[in-house]
Amino acid sequence: QANKGIFSQFENHTETKKYVALVETSKVENSTLKKNQNVTVEKYMARVSPKSSGCKMGIVSASYKDAQISKTVFSILKTSPDKTYVLAELFTGRTHQIRLHLSSLNVPIIGDVTYGGKRDSRIFLHCCQLDFIHPISNQKISCKAEVPF
């Protein structure tokens, strides 16, 4: 019963997921992302690469085969001369959603070469918070993880 209750929250997108992404400040300066402002990206997306190759998603029209709506809200957490920390709150949970949405703003994640980011030792994207309702006690559970970069 507990597993079914948690699964249902993820399936219906009633849980809260927040991520931190590290991007190049020079890219942010030429984008719609601004300090003290939320930017919402709500677009249809689908797999655009062949099934036989590595997965690459793309922004597509609503009529595209297997298109699914996706929504992310971004805000800037902090900025240094070369790097900016961006908070991403997911309202849907699509494959590569944050990576694709930031790339669509011309602000790819550092290390994410698939979506236009500068090559690095890793993709600098980290889940920092997950909130859900415990299916038996009905209490809100909040799991937080420090950003390792």
Residue 21 and residue 149: Cα distance in Å, rounded? 10
Token pair for 52: 């036989």
Say what the pTM is. 0.91
How confident is the model over 76-118, as pLDDT tens digits? 999 999 999 999 999 999 999 999 999 999 999 999 999 999 9
| DSSP classification of residue 50 | -
Q: Under a CB-based contact definition with an 8 Å cutoff, are residues 61 and 44 in contact? A: yes
Q: pLDDT grade, residue 4 (50/70/90)?
A: confident
Query: Of the candidates 117, 100, 101, which has an alpha carbon nearest to the alpha carbon of residue 109?
Result: 117
pLDDT score at 38: 98
Residue 64: pLDDT above 90? yes
- Phi/psi for 117 (5° steps) reads -80, 160
Residue 124 has pLDDT above 90, yes or no: yes
